[in-house]
Amino acid sequence: MIELLKNTNFLIIFFTLFFISTLVFGISIILKFSKKKKLSEADKKELKNIFKNMKVNKSDKEKLIDYDKLYHKILQKFGYNGTFGEILKTKPNEIGNLNKVWELHKLRNKLVHDVDEEIKENLFLKVKEYEKEIEIILK
């Protein structure tokens, strides 16, 4: 009987420790992948300079396309790989407004692939929205 109790206590302790260690490991993995990544100050400075230069002497269509490329580059600097769409599907924590960035990226795709006069009417406002999103991610 004493032998059985010793074995039972051992099993209880073993499974308790196993459960706790698994829980701690799981939480550490979640925390690791949920943290926002950071850009180095040098990267921020470089990207802000690129952004500043993009704002000058371009049509709204060109700006929006360039901003889309820049946003993709920013996400790559954060360590994400793949096409812009693939990266957005991973829902990066660094993005201020994921839905807005998706909307702007889809608009960029329409501008590049479609001829739609209705799109061009609101382009100035969309360019301003993209500028805001870039400023947010480069804070």
The mean per-residue pLDDT over the stretch 118-124 comes to 75
Residue range 5-20, pLDDT digits in tens? 566 776 677 678 778 8
| 80 and 129, same domain (yes or no) | yes
Flag whether the pTM goes above 0.75. Answer: no
Number of domains into which the chain is organized:
2
Residue range 56-81, pLDDT digits in tens? 888 898 999 999 999 999 999 999 99
Q: Which domain holds residue 86?
A: 41-137
| 6 and 67, same domain (yes or no) | no
| 27 and 46, same domain (yes or no) | no
The torsion of the CA quartet 43, 48, 49, 52, rounded to 10 degrees, works out to: 160
| 47 and 27, same domain (yes or no) | no
Distance CA 137, CA 96 (A): 7
In sequence order, the 6+-apart residues with CB closer than 8 A to the CB of 79 are 37
| 110 and 62, same domain (yes or no) | yes
